[in-house]
Structure 1
Protein backbone atom coordinates (compact mmCIF):
# COMPACT_ATOMS: atom_id res chain seq x y z
CA UNK A 1 0.00 0.00 0.00
CA UNK A 2 1.25 3.47 -0.82
CA UNK A 3 2.27 5.53 2.20
CA UNK A 4 -0.42 8.08 2.91
CA UNK A 5 1.93 10.68 4.30
CA UNK A 6 0.17 13.77 5.62
CA UNK A 7 -3.44 14.65 5.05
CA UNK A 8 -4.43 16.74 2.07
CA UNK A 9 -5.94 20.18 2.37
CA UNK A 10 -9.08 19.99 4.51
CA UNK A 11 -12.60 20.36 3.19
CA UNK A 12 -13.51 22.61 6.06
CA UNK A 13 -11.22 23.86 8.82
CA UNK A 14 -10.71 26.69 11.27
CA UNK A 15 -7.86 27.68 13.55
CA UNK A 16 -5.97 24.95 15.36
CA UNK A 17 -5.00 25.29 19.02
CA UNK A 18 -4.22 23.06 21.95
CA UNK A 19 -7.38 23.77 23.94
CA UNK A 20 -7.42 20.44 25.74
CA UNK A 21 -6.09 19.76 29.23
CA UNK A 22 -2.83 21.57 30.01
CA UNK A 23 -0.46 18.67 30.64
CA UNK A 24 3.26 18.47 30.08
CA UNK A 25 4.14 17.42 26.53
CA UNK A 26 5.42 13.85 26.33
CA UNK A 27 8.82 12.79 25.11
CA UNK A 28 8.11 12.28 21.37
CA UNK A 29 10.37 9.20 21.41
CA UNK A 30 8.75 7.57 24.44
CA UNK A 31 5.58 5.65 23.56
CA UNK A 32 4.55 5.04 27.18
CA UNK A 33 4.60 8.80 27.85
CA UNK A 34 2.67 9.48 24.64
CA UNK A 35 0.08 6.84 25.58
CA UNK A 36 -0.45 8.44 29.00
CA UNK A 37 -0.68 11.91 27.40
CA UNK A 38 -3.21 10.66 24.86
CA UNK A 39 -5.33 9.12 27.61
CA UNK A 40 -5.54 12.45 29.46
CA UNK A 41 -6.28 14.38 26.28
CA UNK A 42 -8.93 11.84 25.25
CA UNK A 43 -10.74 12.16 28.58
CA UNK A 44 -10.64 15.96 28.42
CA UNK A 45 -11.78 16.20 24.80
CA UNK A 46 -14.71 13.84 25.32
CA UNK A 47 -15.76 15.88 28.35
CA UNK A 48 -15.60 19.10 26.32
CA UNK A 49 -17.65 17.49 23.55
CA UNK A 50 -20.33 16.31 25.97
CA UNK A 51 -20.55 19.79 27.47
CA UNK A 52 -21.60 21.29 24.12
CA UNK A 53 -25.25 22.32 23.98
CA UNK A 54 -27.72 20.27 21.98
CA UNK A 55 -28.19 23.17 19.56
CA UNK A 56 -24.42 23.45 19.02
CA UNK A 57 -24.12 19.73 18.31
CA UNK A 58 -27.03 19.90 15.88
CA UNK A 59 -25.52 22.90 14.09
CA UNK A 60 -22.18 21.09 13.86
CA UNK A 61 -23.86 18.02 12.38
CA UNK A 62 -25.67 20.10 9.76
CA UNK A 63 -22.47 21.91 8.75
CA UNK A 64 -20.53 18.66 8.44
CA UNK A 65 -23.33 17.15 6.34
CA UNK A 66 -23.25 20.20 4.05
CA UNK A 67 -19.49 19.84 3.64
CA UNK A 68 -19.85 16.13 2.87
CA UNK A 69 -22.40 16.84 0.12
CA UNK A 70 -19.60 18.71 -1.67
CA UNK A 71 -16.78 16.35 -0.69
CA UNK A 72 -18.36 12.95 -1.49
CA UNK A 73 -19.28 11.89 -5.02
CA UNK A 74 -21.77 9.07 -4.58
CA UNK A 75 -21.79 8.32 -8.32
CA UNK A 76 -18.09 7.42 -8.44
CA UNK A 77 -17.69 6.24 -4.81
CA UNK A 78 -21.06 4.69 -3.94
CA UNK A 79 -20.19 2.72 -0.78
CA UNK A 80 -19.70 5.01 2.19
CA UNK A 81 -18.52 3.74 5.57
CA UNK A 82 -19.98 6.02 8.23
CA UNK A 83 -20.75 5.45 11.94
CA UNK A 84 -23.61 5.53 14.44
CA UNK A 85 -23.21 8.60 16.75
CA UNK A 86 -21.82 7.85 20.20
CA UNK A 87 -20.99 10.07 23.19
CA UNK A 88 -21.68 13.42 21.54
CA UNK A 89 -20.22 12.64 18.10
CA UNK A 90 -21.68 14.55 15.13
CA UNK A 91 -24.96 12.94 14.07
CA UNK A 92 -24.93 12.18 10.33
CA UNK A 93 -27.97 9.92 10.22
CA UNK A 94 -30.05 12.33 8.15
CA UNK A 95 -27.15 12.65 5.67
CA UNK A 96 -26.94 8.84 5.56
CA UNK A 97 -30.60 8.63 4.57
CA UNK A 98 -30.07 11.18 1.84
CA UNK A 99 -27.10 9.23 0.49
CA UNK A 100 -29.28 6.14 0.09
CA UNK A 101 -31.89 8.27 -1.72
CA UNK A 102 -29.18 9.30 -4.19
CA UNK A 103 -28.32 5.67 -4.91
CA UNK A 104 -25.40 5.32 -2.52
CA UNK A 105 -24.90 2.51 -0.04
CA UNK A 106 -24.14 3.10 3.64
CA UNK A 107 -22.02 0.71 5.67
CA UNK A 108 -21.73 0.89 9.46
CA UNK A 109 -18.72 -0.52 11.33
CA UNK A 110 -18.80 -3.41 13.75
CA UNK A 111 -15.98 -4.51 16.05
CA UNK A 112 -15.14 -8.05 14.96
CA UNK A 113 -12.69 -8.72 17.77
CA UNK A 114 -9.68 -7.36 19.59
CA UNK A 115 -6.84 -6.31 17.25
CA UNK A 116 -9.00 -7.04 14.18
CA UNK A 117 -10.12 -4.64 11.43
CA UNK A 118 -13.68 -3.38 11.56
CA UNK A 119 -16.39 -5.16 9.57
CA UNK A 120 -18.81 -2.91 7.64
CA UNK A 121 -22.46 -4.02 7.41
CA UNK A 122 -24.97 -2.42 5.07
CA UNK A 123 -27.41 0.02 6.63
CA UNK A 124 -30.67 1.14 5.07
CA UNK A 125 -33.32 3.42 6.61
CA UNK A 126 -35.52 1.40 8.95
CA UNK A 127 -33.37 -1.74 8.84
CA UNK A 128 -33.23 -4.04 11.84
CA UNK A 129 -30.45 -3.13 14.28
CA UNK A 130 -28.82 -4.89 17.22
CA UNK A 131 -26.46 -3.80 19.97
CA UNK A 132 -22.77 -4.21 19.28
CA UNK A 133 -19.68 -3.42 21.35
CA UNK A 134 -20.25 -0.51 23.79
CA UNK A 135 -23.98 -0.98 22.95
CA UNK A 136 -23.54 0.91 19.69
CA UNK A 137 -26.26 -0.19 17.20
CA UNK A 138 -25.11 -2.16 14.14
CA UNK A 139 -27.20 -3.52 11.24
CA UNK A 140 -28.61 -6.95 12.05
CA UNK A 141 -27.68 -8.61 8.76
CA UNK A 142 -24.86 -10.49 7.06
CA UNK A 143 -24.39 -8.06 4.16
CA UNK A 144 -20.79 -6.93 4.49
CA UNK A 145 -19.47 -4.18 2.21
CA UNK A 146 -16.03 -2.84 1.38
CA UNK A 147 -16.29 0.96 1.58
CA UNK A 148 -14.98 3.29 -1.11
CA UNK A 149 -14.81 6.09 1.46
CA UNK A 150 -14.56 5.88 5.25
CA UNK A 151 -15.93 8.75 7.34
CA UNK A 152 -14.42 8.50 10.79
CA UNK A 153 -15.44 10.40 13.93
CA UNK A 154 -12.55 11.94 15.85
CA UNK A 155 -12.04 12.49 19.56
CA UNK A 156 -9.08 14.70 18.71
CA UNK A 157 -7.38 15.77 15.49
CA UNK A 158 -4.21 17.64 14.64
CA UNK A 159 -3.17 19.99 11.85
CA UNK A 160 -1.49 17.18 9.91
CA UNK A 161 -4.74 15.22 9.72
CA UNK A 162 -3.99 12.57 12.34
CA UNK A 163 -6.90 11.51 14.52
CA UNK A 164 -7.11 10.62 18.17
CA UNK A 165 -9.74 7.94 18.71
CA UNK A 166 -10.87 5.94 21.70
CA UNK A 167 -7.61 4.05 21.96
CA UNK A 168 -8.50 0.72 20.39
CA UNK A 169 -6.72 1.36 17.09
CA UNK A 170 -9.66 -0.02 15.10
CA UNK A 171 -9.76 2.66 12.39
CA UNK A 172 -5.99 2.68 11.85
CA UNK A 173 -6.00 -1.11 11.60
CA UNK A 174 -8.98 -1.05 9.23
CA UNK A 175 -7.56 1.61 6.90
CA UNK A 176 -4.24 -0.24 6.75
CA UNK A 177 -6.03 -3.46 5.76
CA UNK A 178 -8.25 -2.07 2.99
CA UNK A 179 -6.99 -2.58 -0.55
CA UNK A 180 -7.24 -0.70 -2.79
CA UNK A 181 -6.67 2.32 -0.63
CA UNK A 182 -9.83 4.15 0.37
CA UNK A 183 -10.32 7.83 1.03
CA UNK A 184 -10.58 8.62 4.75
CA UNK A 185 -12.41 11.69 6.06
CA UNK A 186 -12.29 12.66 9.73
CA UNK A 187 -15.21 14.64 11.18
CA UNK A 188 -15.72 16.33 14.51
CA UNK A 189 -16.44 19.38 16.61
CA UNK A 190 -13.92 22.25 16.70
CA UNK A 191 -13.24 21.43 20.38
CA UNK A 192 -11.42 18.34 19.05
CA UNK A 193 -8.43 20.33 17.79
CA UNK A 194 -4.92 19.57 18.98
CA UNK A 195 -1.58 20.89 17.79
CA UNK A 196 -0.33 17.32 17.41
CA UNK A 197 -1.24 13.83 18.60
CA UNK A 198 2.45 12.81 18.42
CA UNK A 199 1.75 10.36 15.57
CA UNK A 200 3.38 6.95 15.63
CA UNK A 201 4.13 4.55 12.76
CA UNK A 202 0.77 2.81 13.24
CA UNK A 203 -1.21 6.06 13.00
CA UNK A 204 -2.77 6.79 9.59
CA UNK A 205 -3.58 10.36 8.59
CA UNK A 206 -7.00 11.23 7.25
CA UNK A 207 -7.07 12.42 3.64
CA UNK A 208 -9.41 15.22 4.71
CA UNK A 209 -10.52 16.61 8.05
CA UNK A 210 -13.83 18.40 8.62
CA UNK A 211 -13.99 20.17 11.98
CA UNK A 212 -16.76 22.67 12.51
CA UNK A 213 -17.22 25.73 14.72
CA UNK A 214 -20.91 26.70 14.34
CA UNK A 215 -20.42 30.05 16.09
CA UNK A 216 -17.68 31.02 13.64
CA UNK A 217 -19.77 29.88 10.67
CA UNK A 218 -22.77 31.97 11.72
CA UNK A 219 -20.58 35.05 12.12
CA UNK A 220 -19.18 34.79 8.59
Structure 2
Protein backbone atom coordinates (compact mmCIF):
# COMPACT_ATOMS: atom_id res chain seq x y z
CA UNK A 1 0.00 0.00 0.00
CA UNK A 2 1.39 3.39 -0.99
CA UNK A 3 1.89 6.07 1.61
CA UNK A 4 -0.07 9.22 0.69
CA UNK A 5 1.99 12.36 0.11
CA UNK A 6 2.07 14.88 2.96
CA UNK A 7 -0.71 17.46 2.96
CA UNK A 8 0.18 20.99 1.83
CA UNK A 9 -0.14 22.22 5.44
CA UNK A 10 2.14 19.46 6.76
CA UNK A 11 4.74 20.36 4.12
CA UNK A 12 4.42 24.09 4.97
CA UNK A 13 4.76 23.35 8.70
CA UNK A 14 8.00 21.41 8.06
CA UNK A 15 9.37 24.25 5.92
CA UNK A 16 8.46 26.92 8.49
CA UNK A 17 9.95 24.90 11.38
CA UNK A 18 13.20 24.67 9.42
CA UNK A 19 13.18 28.42 8.70
CA UNK A 20 12.54 29.22 12.35
CA UNK A 21 15.29 26.89 13.59
CA UNK A 22 17.82 28.25 11.09
CA UNK A 23 17.10 31.90 11.92
CA UNK A 24 19.02 33.85 14.52
CA UNK A 25 16.88 36.81 15.48
CA UNK A 26 17.08 39.47 18.14
CA UNK A 27 14.52 38.68 20.87
CA UNK A 28 15.21 42.08 22.46
CA UNK A 29 13.78 43.74 19.34
CA UNK A 30 10.53 41.83 19.90
CA UNK A 31 10.55 42.69 23.60
CA UNK A 32 11.01 46.37 22.70
CA UNK A 33 7.97 46.26 20.40
CA UNK A 34 5.87 44.66 23.16
CA UNK A 35 6.67 47.42 25.67
CA UNK A 36 3.53 49.41 24.77
CA UNK A 37 1.42 46.54 26.13
CA UNK A 38 2.67 47.31 29.64
CA UNK A 39 0.48 50.43 29.68
CA UNK A 40 -2.65 48.28 29.38
CA UNK A 41 -4.53 46.81 32.31
CA UNK A 42 -5.15 43.13 32.89
CA UNK A 43 -3.34 39.82 32.76
CA UNK A 44 -0.85 39.07 29.99
CA UNK A 45 -0.28 35.50 28.78
CA UNK A 46 2.80 34.27 27.02
CA UNK A 47 4.57 30.97 26.51
CA UNK A 48 7.87 29.19 27.10
CA UNK A 49 9.89 29.27 23.86
CA UNK A 50 10.47 25.93 22.18
CA UNK A 51 12.50 24.90 19.11
CA UNK A 52 13.48 28.32 17.83
CA UNK A 53 10.41 30.31 18.91
CA UNK A 54 11.13 33.90 19.99
CA UNK A 55 11.62 34.00 23.77
CA UNK A 56 9.02 36.23 25.46
CA UNK A 57 9.96 35.22 29.01
CA UNK A 58 12.10 38.36 29.61
CA UNK A 59 9.07 40.49 28.65
CA UNK A 60 6.81 38.42 30.93
CA UNK A 61 9.30 38.84 33.81
CA UNK A 62 9.27 42.59 33.25
CA UNK A 63 5.46 42.64 33.19
CA UNK A 64 5.35 40.58 36.40
CA UNK A 65 7.77 42.91 38.19
CA UNK A 66 5.67 45.89 37.09
CA UNK A 67 2.64 44.35 38.78
CA UNK A 68 0.85 42.63 35.90
CA UNK A 69 -0.72 39.24 36.39
CA UNK A 70 1.16 36.93 34.03
CA UNK A 71 -0.01 33.56 32.74
CA UNK A 72 1.46 30.58 30.90
CA UNK A 73 -0.44 27.94 28.93
CA UNK A 74 -1.25 24.49 30.24
CA UNK A 75 -2.90 22.35 27.56
CA UNK A 76 -5.29 19.60 28.59
CA UNK A 77 -6.63 16.80 26.43
CA UNK A 78 -8.72 19.21 24.32
CA UNK A 79 -8.54 22.54 26.13
CA UNK A 80 -6.00 25.18 26.95
CA UNK A 81 -5.89 26.91 30.33
CA UNK A 82 -3.76 29.91 31.18
CA UNK A 83 -2.29 29.57 34.65
CA UNK A 84 -1.20 32.53 36.79
CA UNK A 85 2.59 32.44 36.73
CA UNK A 86 5.30 33.79 39.02
CA UNK A 87 9.05 33.10 38.93
CA UNK A 88 8.86 30.49 41.74
CA UNK A 89 5.98 28.49 40.25
CA UNK A 90 6.89 24.81 39.81
CA UNK A 91 6.96 23.78 36.16
CA UNK A 92 6.68 20.31 34.65
CA UNK A 93 7.21 18.90 31.16
CA UNK A 94 4.05 19.07 29.05
CA UNK A 95 3.30 18.30 25.42
CA UNK A 96 6.57 17.88 23.44
CA UNK A 97 8.46 18.42 26.71
CA UNK A 98 7.53 22.12 26.84
CA UNK A 99 7.56 23.34 30.46
CA UNK A 100 4.11 24.19 31.79
CA UNK A 101 2.81 25.25 35.20
CA UNK A 102 2.21 22.41 37.62
CA UNK A 103 -0.97 23.31 39.47
CA UNK A 104 -1.81 26.97 39.87
CA UNK A 105 -4.77 29.25 39.37
CA UNK A 106 -6.42 29.47 35.93
CA UNK A 107 -7.00 33.06 34.75
CA UNK A 108 -8.39 34.63 31.58
CA UNK A 109 -5.77 37.00 30.16
CA UNK A 110 -6.77 40.13 28.28
CA UNK A 111 -3.67 39.88 26.08
CA UNK A 112 -2.34 36.60 24.67
CA UNK A 113 1.11 36.39 23.10
CA UNK A 114 0.77 33.29 20.92
CA UNK A 115 3.58 31.29 19.34
CA UNK A 116 3.12 30.22 15.74
CA UNK A 117 4.79 28.57 12.79
CA UNK A 118 3.60 30.92 10.08
CA UNK A 119 1.54 34.06 9.53
CA UNK A 120 0.36 36.33 6.77
CA UNK A 121 -0.30 40.07 6.70
CA UNK A 122 -4.05 39.73 7.16
CA UNK A 123 -3.65 38.04 10.55
CA UNK A 124 -3.94 34.37 9.73
CA UNK A 125 -1.85 32.12 11.98
CA UNK A 126 -0.51 28.65 11.26
CA UNK A 127 0.11 26.82 14.51
CA UNK A 128 1.30 23.32 15.33
CA UNK A 129 -2.07 21.84 14.34
CA UNK A 130 -3.55 20.97 17.73
CA UNK A 131 -6.15 23.76 17.69
CA UNK A 132 -5.59 24.67 21.35
CA UNK A 133 -5.17 28.41 20.76
CA UNK A 134 -8.03 28.63 18.25
CA UNK A 135 -10.43 26.93 20.67
CA UNK A 136 -9.33 29.28 23.48
CA UNK A 137 -9.62 32.34 21.21
CA UNK A 138 -13.14 31.27 20.17
CA UNK A 139 -14.18 30.93 23.82
CA UNK A 140 -12.56 34.29 24.75
CA UNK A 141 -13.14 36.64 21.79
CA UNK A 142 -12.50 39.75 23.91
CA UNK A 143 -8.80 38.86 24.42
CA UNK A 144 -6.23 40.68 22.29
CA UNK A 145 -4.53 38.02 20.14
CA UNK A 146 -0.91 38.82 19.26
CA UNK A 147 1.22 36.36 17.31
CA UNK A 148 4.93 36.31 18.07
CA UNK A 149 7.25 35.24 15.27
CA UNK A 150 10.47 35.84 13.41
CA UNK A 151 10.12 37.71 10.13
CA UNK A 152 11.22 34.56 8.21
CA UNK A 153 7.97 32.88 9.28
CA UNK A 154 5.86 35.19 7.12
CA UNK A 155 4.15 33.62 4.12
CA UNK A 156 2.33 35.38 1.31
CA UNK A 157 -1.08 33.95 2.18
CA UNK A 158 -2.52 31.26 4.42
CA UNK A 159 -5.83 29.62 3.67
CA UNK A 160 -7.71 29.59 6.97
CA UNK A 161 -9.85 26.70 8.12
CA UNK A 162 -13.37 27.53 9.34
CA UNK A 163 -12.23 27.18 12.98
CA UNK A 164 -9.15 29.41 12.65
CA UNK A 165 -9.34 32.68 14.60
CA UNK A 166 -7.34 35.60 13.13
CA UNK A 167 -4.81 37.56 15.14
CA UNK A 168 -5.18 41.23 16.02
CA UNK A 169 -1.44 41.75 15.45
CA UNK A 170 1.83 39.98 14.75
CA UNK A 171 5.10 41.13 16.29
CA UNK A 172 8.46 40.21 14.73
CA UNK A 173 11.98 41.43 15.30
CA UNK A 174 11.40 43.87 12.41
CA UNK A 175 7.89 45.25 12.91
CA UNK A 176 4.49 45.35 14.54
CA UNK A 177 1.95 44.19 11.94
CA UNK A 178 -1.67 45.22 12.52
CA UNK A 179 -3.94 43.63 9.90
By the TM > 0.5 criterion, same fold? yes
Q: Given the alignment, which residue of 161, 170, 191 partners 2:132?
A: 170
| Structure 2: distance between partners of 1:73 and 1:45 | 30
Gaps of 5+ in 1: 1-32, 215-220
| Structure 1: distance between partners of 2:68 and 2:83 | 14
Asked if 1 retains the 8 angstrom alpha-carbon contact of 2:117 and 2:126, the reply is: yes
Q: 2:93 aligned with 1:131, yes or no?
A: yes
Q: 2:12 aligned with 1:50, yes or no?
A: no
Asked if 2 retains the 8 angstrom alpha-carbon contact of 1:117 and 1:173, the reply is: yes
| Structure 2: distance between partners of 1:69 and 1:42 | 30
Aligned residue in 2 for 1:148:
110
1:102-141 matched pairs, under 5 angstroms = 102-113=66-77, 116-141=78-103
| Structure 2: distance between partners of 1:51 and 1:75 | 34
| Structure 2: distance between partners of 1:137 and 1:128 | 9
| Structure 2: distance between partners of 1:211 and 1:134 | 24
TM-score by length of 2: 0.89
Structure (1 or 2) with the larger CA radius of gyration: 1
Q: 2:50 aligned with 1:83, yes or no?
A: no
| Structure 2: distance between partners of 1:212 and 1:75 | 21
CA RMSD of aligned residues (A): 1.8
Gaps of 5+ in 2: none
Asked if 1 retains the 8 angstrom alpha-carbon contact of 2:73 and 2:82, the reply is: yes
Q: Displacement of 1:202 after TM fit?
A: 0.9
| Structure 2: distance between partners of 1:144 and 1:73 | 21
SS of the equivalent of 1:212 reads coil
Equivalent pairs, count: 171
Deviations 1:89-115 (A, max 9, x none): 0011111110011110111111111xx
SS of the equivalent of 1:151 reads strand
Q: Displacement of 1:200 after TM fit?
A: 2.1
Q: 2:165 aligned with 1:204, yes or no?
A: yes
Aligned residue in 2 for 1:63:
29
| Structure 1: distance between partners of 2:22 and 2:33 | 24
Q: 1:125 to 1:154 in 2, by over 3 A?
A: same
